[in-house]
Structure 1
Amino acid sequence: MQRYELTDEHWSLIEPILPPQRRTTRGGVWRDHRTVVNGIFWVLFSGAAWRDMPERYGSCKTAHDRLARWQRDGTWDKVLCALRLRADERGLLDYSQYNADTTSIHATRAAGGARKKAGRKRLE
């Protein structure tokens, strides 16, 4: 297993949430979701460009397209919600630092709507 790849335990948590695996009769070979998700994680966690994704994860276009499709249809939100719920059930979330407001994070002067100082005029 590589650094950014899902373990069997982690995969078993998100696999039921992902859309059904498509079976195609035309075009190229359809990569399974686990391979593509591992490729997506590789790009996102490594910070590399999509075109630098290793070939073992399939086409970078496939990975990017599925990332975008699942973002649009709410799949990633469902995955995050399920993982958050599981972590909460196991007592892994600390809600004592959950709220952030101006009493704990002070806004800068510019963010507070302060007037901008006019610049000096140029001499010609």
Structure 2
Amino acid sequence: MAPHLAGKAGDVGRTGADNRLFLNAVFWLARHGCAWRGLPAHFGKHDTLRKRSRRWAHKGIWQRLFEAVQEPDLDWVMLDSTVVRAHAQAAGSRKKAASATKPSAAAAAG
């Protein structure tokens, strides 16, 4: 992910203090669903983090990150259930028991 992030050495402007800490703060927000003000103090000033997130949005960094971590398009691998047949046992049917010979009613009577 590092090549897609802003604020690394060599970029114009100030180098980001800790991209990992910033991303952890964003993930914490997403997981807990609270406002920026609800961030724990160990992530840093909530207003600074909010501004950094907005700058990343305007620069398209979030979009680049999402595109970098997306799974490849696997539509061509999808199988249609009309083509695939499962074995009867896969559907939960019981296996037929070994041919157990039951005496017929006539043999049992006589």
TM-score norm. by structure 1 comes to 0.50
Matches within 5 A, 1:14-53: 14-21=1-8, 22-23=14-15, 31-53=17-39
In the superposition, relative to structure 1, how do residues 94 and 36 fare at CA in structure 2: closer, same or farther (>3 Å)? Answer: farther
Matches within 5 A, 1:2-81: 14-21=1-8, 22-23=14-15, 31-81=17-67
In the superposition, relative to structure 1, how do residues 88 and 32 fare at CA in structure 2: closer, same or farther (>3 Å)? Answer: same
TM-score norm. by structure 2 comes to 0.56
Question: Where does structure 1 lack aligned partners over 5 or more consecutive residues?
Answer: 1-13, 24-29, 97-124
The percentage of counterpart residues that share the same residue type is 29
The count of aligned residue pairs is 73
* Structure 2 SS opposite 1:88: coil
Q: Distance in 2 between matches of 1:94 and 1:55?
A: 47
Structure of higher CA gyration radius: 2
Moved >3 Å (runs of 4+):
93-96
Q: Distance in 2 between matches of 1:94 and 1:46?
A: 36
The aligned amino acid for 2:3 is P
Deviation at 1:44, TM superposition (A): 2.2
